Structure 1
Amino acid sequence: MTITPGKKREKIDRLAELAAVRDDERGVSLWQEAFRRLRRNPAAIVGAVILALFVLVAVVGPFLVPYGATDSIGIREGVVKSGQGIIPGPSGDHWLGYDHQGRDVFSRMIVGARQTLLVGVVSTLIGLAVGALIGGVAGAAAGLGGRWGRWVDSTLMRFVDMLLALPSLLLAVSVAALLGASLTTVMIAVGVVSVPVFARLLRGSMISQSNSDYVLAATSLGVKRSRIALTHVVPNSLAPVIVQATLTLATAIIEAAALSFLGLGNPDSTIPEWGVMLADAQPYLGIRPALAIYPAVAIIITALGFTLLGEAMREALDPKLRK
């Protein structure tokens, strides 16, 4: 039976229509699918809103505060007499009242948000950079195999195990005590605490990825193992590390506040930081407990925002946790 050109063309067009893929059926990348899930997750939305407000206040807020963060307005005006137990509360001009040195608490809270964000981000980046370096080298060495690869992996992991054996707060206090009290010390101390977490996570993810089909295919094509590790295994292993960085930001803010509360943070208390404000408020809990409540609530809400967003990202990126 002879098929005319017209029928042949119609048949081809029909097959093309059947084979066509609609826009909503096209495959998407892991991150695109994760973003879709995050947009439908109420916890992720709440966490993102909290963090957006926190970052906005930290970046823009210090330029809009009504009073200087170090200006002792209440002492100068004679309305604050902390020695006599007189520390006025909120008013129309001072929304959160004064502190024990007559400074506007609202202005110090806004300016302190920038210091808190700086400590959390920098300490997390320190832990991420050092931990990813150790974990990446260990994961690549384990994937390469051989005697030297196993030796390098074992040596680095024993060092990480030593850090994990110490309680995180004790390790941070030890590092801060060795380096001396300063804001930089707090960043380094909190960063060191998070190093073993990132190292272990990246190493495990790289070892898991090294058994994938694409690694076997690249190896069969003669690609060097070192190139496979750097250009394929490491990029595909970063998703859980990024999620962990979001969760680590929450703990970094809490641990930084704890170190400042213990007197290992910035020795200059005139520079507002939520942990320092919490420590300064302790002698005046009987007079004005709100001085401790304000920074404590701010720390809790900020840490909650990072935790909600991090957990939602973990659920969106891990197929085992998807609902």
Structure 2
Amino acid sequence: MTITAGKKREKLDRLAELAARDDEQGVSLWKEAFRRLRRNPAAIIGAVILALFVLVAVVGPFFVPYGPTDAIGIREGLVKSGQGLIPGSSGDHWLGFDHQGRDEFSRMIVGARQTLLVGVASTLIGLAIGALVGGVAGAAAGLGGRWGRWVDNTLMRFVDMLLAMPSLLLAVSIAALLGASLVTVMIAVGVVSVPVFARLLRGSMISQSNSDYVLAATSLGVKKPKIALTHVIPNSIAPVIVQATLTLATAIIEAAALSFLGLGNPDSATPEWGVMLADAQPYLGIRPGLAIYPALAIIITALGFTLLGEAMREALDPKLRK
């Protein structure tokens, strides 16, 4: 009897030790995702690019050597308006001048802030509206019943109408109706991204509504609206956050496209990479750098958001983990 009791006690101690070890090793979804991101080279490269971009956009304008609207080149006699002579880079002016004698390097640094502002604001607009529409539709679909299906079908048909139009054409139409301005670009690009967030959140919520914890909460008598708000939505928001990172890259490109088409800020004196790219078109033959610099900045910034967003999706989605 003593030997048997001792063996049982040893077995129980062993099980307790293993359970404690599992508790120590167990981590949350976000901690596990962060651990995977740290081991992903693409995520590191994307994070470094974005960190440099944000640092330049936030801090850079306070340390630019010249004002972005100062016609330094004309005042110094280096740029003569109407003669087609635009000097290139030099020791004092690293990227040279633009066609109006303004320091190109200073305008690139200040333009980063405008580009970041447009990208973040438009993404937040699309995320807020899309999450609202998708959350209501997903909750209605999960509630079931005639009214729930009617609300879900109505909202999704509206979203399908937005998806039926090409994104750039829809953005151009909205910008043309509202008039050229920086706020118009934010609204136009934000509206374009609404269907993506709405359908993604709705699909995630419908998938979560079939989980065991929803069945358990329903069995305990918890009302379905409370289940949707306190359980389903928090567990469905992760893919939406990842999509927001990817949408930032698209938002920056589409905002630059609208500015390039003349639907952005009508005041070209305010530096913004899309506007700078448009202003450089007549001078490609004599100063191609005026178009290359903002184009490269847009491409590299969008690449950073894309790399980080794809790495986050792989880290958070079990089907895509390597």
TM-score (norm 2): 0.96
1:206 deviation in Å?
0.3
- For each residue in 1:159-199, what CA deviation from the matched residue of structure 2 results, as whole angstroms up to 9, or x when unmatched? 00000000000000000000000000000000000000000
Q: 1:317 to 1:14 in 2, by over 3 A?
A: closer
Change (3 A) 1:290 1:231: same
Post-superposition CA distance 1:95-146 (Å, at most 9, x none): 0000000000000000000000000000000000000000000000000000
CA deviation after TM superposition for structure 1 residue 7, in Å: 9.5
Question: Residue 4 of structure 1: CA displacement?
Answer: 12
Cα distance in 2 for residues equivalent to 1:85 and 1:133: 52
Shift of 1:5: 11
Evaluate the alpha carbon distance shift between residue 59 and residue 23 of structure 1 in structure 2; reply closer, same or farther with a 3 A threshold.
Answer: farther
Q: Is the 8 A contact 2:47 2:308 kept in 1?
A: yes
Separation in structure 2 between the aligned mates of residue 161 and residue 5 of structure 1, nearest angstrom: 68
Query: 2:137·2:155 contact (CA, 8 Å) conserved in 1?
Result: yes
- Residues 146 and 7 of structure 1: CA distance in aligned 2, closer, same or farther (over 3 Å): closer
CA distance in 2, matches of 1:238, 1:8: 46
1:220-249 per-position Cα deviation (integer Å, ceiling 9, x unaligned): 000000000000000000011000000000
Cross-structure match for 2:15:
15
Residues 74, 81 of structure 2: 8 Å contact kept:
no
Could you state the TM-score of these two structures normalised by the residue count of structure 1?
0.96
How far off is 1:287 after superposition? 1.1
Structure 1 residues 321 and 2, CA gap change in structure 2 (3 angstroms): closer
CA, structure 1 residues 18+138, in 2 after alignment: closer, same or farther (shift >3 Å)?
closer
Describe the SS at the equivalent of 2:133: helix
The 3 A distance-change label for structure 1 pair 307 and 3 is: same
Distance verdict in 2 for CA 1:15–1:184, change over 3 Å: closer
C-alpha change, 1:19 and 1:321, in structure 2 (3 Å) is closer
**Distance change (3 Å), C-alpha of 1:232 and 1:89:** same
Q: What is the CA–CA distance in structure 1 between the aligned matches of 2:16 and 2:224, rounded to whole Å?
A: 41
Distance 1:7 1:168, change over 3 A: closer
**Cα–Cα, structure 1 residues 215 and 115, in superposed 2: closer, same or farther, change >3 Å?**
same
In structure 2, list runs of 5 or more residues that go unmatched.
none
Q: Please name the residue that 1:246 is paired with.
A: 245
Change (3 A) 1:148 1:44: same
Mapping for residues 171-186 of structure 1, pairs under 5 Å? 171-186=170-185
| Counterpart Cα distance in 2 of 1:295 and 1:42 | 26
How many matched pairs? Answer: 322
- Give the Cα separation in 2 of the matches to 1:220 and 1:268: 61
Residues 6 and 276 of structure 1, relative CA distance in 2, 3 Å threshold: same
Query: Once the two structures are superposed, what CA deviation does each residue of 1:9-57 show, in whole Å capped at 9, x if it has no partner?
Result: 877655544543x379621111111101100000000000000000000
- Match of 2:249, SS? helix
Q: Aligned partners of 1:11, 1:51: CA distance in 2, in Å?
A: 52
Question: Residues 197 and 10 from structure 1, CA distance in 2 versus in 1: closer, same or farther, beyond 3 angstroms?
Answer: closer
Question: Does the residue aligned with 1:310 lie in a helix, a strand or coil?
Answer: helix
Alpha-carbon deviations, 1:34-84, whole Å to 9, x = none?
Answer: 101100000000000000000000000000000000000001111102421
Report which stretch shifted further, 9-18 or 50-59: 9-18
SS of residue paired to 1:90 = coil
C-alpha spacing 1:23/1:52, structure 2 compared with 1 (3 Å): farther
Q: Residues 220 and 8 (structure 1 numbering): CA distance in 2 closer, same or farther, change over 3 Å? A: closer
Change (3 A) 1:152 1:24: closer
From the superposition, tell whether residues 277 and 212 of structure 1 become closer, same or farther in structure 2 (CA, over 3 Å): same
| C-alpha separation in 1, matches of 2:28 and 2:15 | 27
Deviation at 1:2, TM superposition (A): 4.7
Task: Report % sequence identity.
Answer: 91
Gaps of 5+ in 1: none
